[in-house]
């Protein structure tokens, strides 16, 4: 991935960043907006680690989310082609969600963020402890 680039090259980001910036016109903004809301990364992680899940199964693993928001998040992820929706009109209906190829492509990036986030948190904790003693 991009990490193979020599570290002294200027960061590229998206072309929209070249001129006066207007939020919402940038591919990066689109991806960040997708990932950002609460729950979203957790949904992707669930589908990544546990495979396809039904609506109720996802909800059971996120007790605090409301149906409305879960539905909305899944619709957004579906619209972005990150998850696929499989609807079976049985009684009662069965709807299962799975990551698409594009969804799996996020794995590397998410892991990168996770690694950094955990390292920073560990550093902060260590600093706090040292400061408290």
Partner DNA sequence: GTAAGTAGGCACCTTGTGGTAACTAGAAGA
Partner DNA sequence: TCTTCTAGTTACCACAAGGTGCCTACTTAC
Which residues are near its own copies by CB under 8 A?
1-3, 5, 7, 10-15, 17, 20-24, 26-33, 35-36, 38-39, 41-42, 45, 48-49, 61-64, 81, 102, 105-118, 120-121
By CB under 7 A, residue 71 contacts DNA: yes
By CB under 7 A, residue 65 contacts DNA: yes
- At residue 21's C-alpha, the angle toward residues 18 and 26, to 5°, is 80
Shortest Cβ 38–DNA spacing (Å): 6
By CB under 7 A, residue 50 contacts DNA: no
Task: List all residues 6 or more positions away from 74 whose beta carbon is below 8 Å from its beta carbon.
Answer: 43, 55, 58, 83, 85, 97
Give the orientation angle of helix 67-79 with respect to helix 40-50, to 10 degrees.
70
Nearer to its own copies by C-beta: 54 or 80? 80
Report the C-alpha gap between 56 and 60 in whole angstroms. Answer: 6
Which residues from 83-122 bind DNA, rule CB under 7 A?
A: 85, 87, 91-96
């Amino acid at each position: 991935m991009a990490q193979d680039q020599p570290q002294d090259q200027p960061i590229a980001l998206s072309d929209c960043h070249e001129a006066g910036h207007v939020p919402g016109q940038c591919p990066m903004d689109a991806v960040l907006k997708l990932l950002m809301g609460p729950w979203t990364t957790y949904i992707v992680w669930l589908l990544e680690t546990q495979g396809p899940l039904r609506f109720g199964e996802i909800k059971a693993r996120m007790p605090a989310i409301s149906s409305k928001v879960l539905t909305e998040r899944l619709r957004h992820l579906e619209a972005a082609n990150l998850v696929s929706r499989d609807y079976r009109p049985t009684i009662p209906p069965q709807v299962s969600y799975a990551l698409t190829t594009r969804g799996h492509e996020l794995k590397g990036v998410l892991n990168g963020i996770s690694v950094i986030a955990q390292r920073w948190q560990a550093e902060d904790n260590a600093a706090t402890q040292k400061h408290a003693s």
